[in-house]
Amino acid sequence: MARPVVKKEFSLSDRVYLIEIIKGLGLTWKHFLFNFRACFRPGPHTVPTCWQYPEDLREIAPIFRGAHMLLLDEKGREKCVGCGMCARACPAKCITVKRGKVQEGEEGKYAGKTYCAEFKIDMLRCIFCGFCEEACPKGAIVLGQEYELAEYTPEKCLYDKARLLANYEKAKSEGKLKPARKPVPVEAPPPKAAPKSKPKAAAKKVKEKEGTKQA
């Protein structure tokens, strides 16, 4: 709904403008004093409108997609079986997986019969979409909460398996592991109920059904 334009006439104090300037100076002085006192206070979040980054951090949602990690199960064995589904699902094609058969003496380290001999993620190509996490049949790769991923050389941004396992250890020690995603239960479609509407509408519906059946 449109509001009519009210043409505001300038009062004398507006026209002189010096008075308005002085009023404006008072307003900015209040802001200045407030922030001046705030910057002397210790502790995080002293200035409410400006969060100083390394000291004031934002709260991350639990489903935030940060850096990847390879999970261990309750017995401490690597969950990843090296199937390569994550590499297949990745839209940016940044994951490289090589499967290896578990040897006789190494049963305790791996959960399955095969393991990933080589697992590389190129973080510079990764788009953090989370498809690898959704595609993994074992729930072995998860995107964690780590977002401070800057490095000094590009070589350090190619994560290998050791780095990914280390990410898991770090997240576990900081308590930032998110709970496993439970599968969403899919409801059975409701059975086709008999039309309870008026006879005319019912006749129309029967005609439509017949029409679609024929088509």
Q: Residues in the site for other proteins, rule: CB under 8 A?
A: 18, 21, 24-25, 27-29, 31-32, 35-36, 39, 47, 49-50, 52
Give the C-alpha separation, 145 to 63, whole Å: 8
Give the C-alpha separation, 58 to 55, whole Å: 10
| Residues forming beta bridges with residue 121, ordered by sequence position | 95, 159
Which phi and psi (to 5°) does residue 186 adopt? -95, 120
Residue 167, token pair as written in the block? 């990410």
CB nearer other proteins, residue 48 or residue 175: 48
CB of 32 to other proteins, least distance (A): 5
Length, in residues, of the chain: 215
CB of 47 to other proteins, least distance (A): 6
Residue pointed to by tokens 């788009």: 127
